[in-house]
Amino acid sequence: MKIIILFIISILISSDQIPAPEQSQPILLKNGILHTISNGTVQGPDILFNNGKIIAIGHGIEITKDTQIMDISGKHIYPGLISAGSSLGLQEVNAVRATRDYAETGSINSNVRANVSYNPDSELIPVTRSNGILLAHVIPKSGRIPGISSVMMLDGWTWEDCTLKHPIAMNMNWPSMELNLNSWNKKSHKDQIEERDMALDEINNLFNSARAYNKLDQTSPEFKSNPRLEALSQVISGKLLLIIKANTVKQIESAVYWSVKQNIKIAILGGRDSWRATELLKEKNIPVIYESVLSVPARRFEDYDQPYKTPKLLFDAGVRFCITNSTSPFQTPHLRDLPYHASMATAFGLDAEEAIKSITLSTAEILGIDINVGSLETGKDATLFISNGDILDIRSNVEQAFINGKEIDMSDRHKMLYKKYTEKYIQKGILLNE
């Protein structure tokens, strides 16, 4: 019975879009406004890509007879936007447990892989890429250590097709460092401190165990494999980034000092209070994946615009950062709003070029995928899109997208519903049929 129910759910929530075939001929985009990200914005140069790669940018590019030429005069060309953190593809309807694959039981799940649970038929994917987000850093979410994240391309038949890079990072949720002083909280201050210290001890013991595991002779007949510790050994050896979810200044400072003591490379995810720890973050070269732009201040004494202006404060302090949506599973359906998080930051001081960089190249650099994506450069993946205006302007629309040179189906459920109900009001005589 459960299998039948799951089958029905999968049919109801699967998208109708057909994944694009591999690029079959060279494509030349002419006369567009090119946002290279790495070299600024340029009016007029052409961009040629073939076999999924950008092979030339400039004027007077030599082309073969089979080249498809697209004149996009007045249109804008951007590299695909990158969501720096979400559960896209790991959930569909958050209220339906059968469609949530972002959480495993238990506290320590360091051996969990995000990409193998990714659902390429998610109805949320076409809606997301319709606004230029073509890549997503997909993160598992449960317990102290949820597991290993992956960067996924938002088109493909299977999770293998969609995986751009795995592994990206181990993920950790840092313990709360604050004492809950609310009158309704029944835990005493002493109990809260003990609970916090136990969580920190758990982390230290886990990483000490991983170091000890690394020293074992794996060729010995007595050796017993431990997938959780084996996965953590990549973090200890420096092969894998550790992304720590931390928002308060106490969490951020505690996580940074712990990483220095452990000699582990980290990035901070969340970073709500990162503006209060810029000197430390700059000194230790810790990047921030900032997810709180479109939010409210955390404290009564903070400025009303504190979340909006934090990216500018990080930039001025020389802290490496990128911008993402909230990584809460409840926000996954709104992943399409990513450009507007960056746009709000520009309204409160961040330079527009830096804002676009914060959702493209800066994200790629922090996640270690900038050799392939994040900017428009010769040799990089032809993962890009064409819009009829500035992507930071909510009035602009993405007209066509390419992922690895593949021309993507731009239809989605939102557009279908728009067309349906436009027709309704035309038939009712409320709208004129133009």
pLDDT tens digits, 320-376: 999 999 877 777 888 899 999 999 999 999 999 999 999 999 999 999 999 999 999
- Per-residue pLDDT tens digits of the chain, which is 434 residues long: 444 444 444 444 456 788 999 999 999 999 999 999 998 888 889 999 999 999 999 998 999 999 999 999 999 999 999 999 998 988 877 666 667 777 777 888 888 999 999 999 999 999 999 999 999 999 998 889 999 999 999 999 999 999 999 999 999 999 988 877 676 777 777 777 888 889 888 999 999 999 998 888 787 888 888 889 999 999 998 999 999 999 999 999 999 999 999 999 999 999 999 999 999 999 999 999 999 899 999 888 999 999 999 999 999 999 999 999 987 777 788 889 999 999 999 999 999 999 999 999 999 999 999 999 999 999 999 999 999 999 999 999 999 999 999 999 998 888 899 999 999 999 988 888 76
Q: 296: burial class by Cβ within 10 Å (0-12, 13-18, 19+)?
A: exposed
Site of tokens 């690029």: 23
Alpha-carbon dihedral angle through residues 330, 335, 336, 338, given to the nearest 10 degrees: 130
Contacts of 349 (CB under 8 A, 6+ apart): 309, 312
* Domains in the chain, CATH or no CATH each: 17-80+374-410 (2.30.40.10), 172-322 (3.20.20.140)
Tokens of 134: 């073509």
Nearest to 156 by CA among 406, 336, 411: 406
Rounded (10°) angle between helices 189-214 and 249-262:
30
Q: How far apart are CA 293 and CA 305, in angstroms?
A: 9
Return d(Cα 276, Cα 39) in angstroms, integer. 31
